[in-house]
Amino acid sequence: MHSQRLIVGLIVLMTASLAAGETSKPDSLKKDLDGIQGTWKLVALEADGEQAPAEIVAALKLVFKDDTLTFAPGEPGFTNYKFKLDPTTRPASFDLTHADGPNSGQTEKGIYSLAGDRLKICLGKPDKRPSEFTTKAKSGQSMYVLERKK
């Protein structure tokens, strides 16, 4: 009788743990989706280990609205995107799909880190998600460091 209660107790505990894990994904996704909304100014941009020119960094802003990302100022075919977050992966996943231009429908895989008013996005080569926030020479990776525009 005692062992049956122990087994039932363990099953209840495991079920509660699993249920808590399932609810944390939507909660963390909603938190990050809400947290990323708005206009972000570029603080640093690096690609293949090289810093972008200061005038590009000073001018570029990223605007997140719902599931859309707009680069301002934009270039034809490289302005509008759909994005998708997955905060449950380590590091958190960021998918960016071109919404216009010659690459329309193509998705770039990346990672992100969102901490208050600071956002880092690192994108990799096509079909290869970066595993860390670095951009070494010939890595095909680019990293955006952003701060929320106040």
Nearest to 41 by CA among 119, 96, 106: 119
Residues of the chain under the 50 pLDDT cut: 1-23
The predicted pLDDT at position 4 comes to: 45
d(CA 112, CA 7): 41
Q: Which residues contact 81 (CB under 8 A, 6 or more apart)?
A: 68, 69, 70, 71, 96, 97, 98, 99
Number of domains in the chain: 1
The predicted pLDDT at position 137 comes to: 93
The predicted pLDDT at position 12 comes to: 34
CA distances from 49 to 45, 73, 103, 134, 143 (A): 10, 24, 24, 8, 9
Three-class DSSP category at 140: coil
Overall pTM surpassing 0.75 (yes/no): yes
CA angle 99, 140, 102 (to 5 degrees): 25
The 10s digit of each residue's pLDDT in 28-70 is 999 999 999 999 999 999 999 999 999 999 999 999 999 999 9
The predicted pLDDT at position 24 comes to: 55
The predicted pLDDT at position 126 comes to: 79
The predicted pLDDT at position 74 comes to: 87
DSSP 53: P
Residue type, 129: R
CATH number, residue 100:
2.40.128
What is the extent of the structural domain holding 19? 3-148
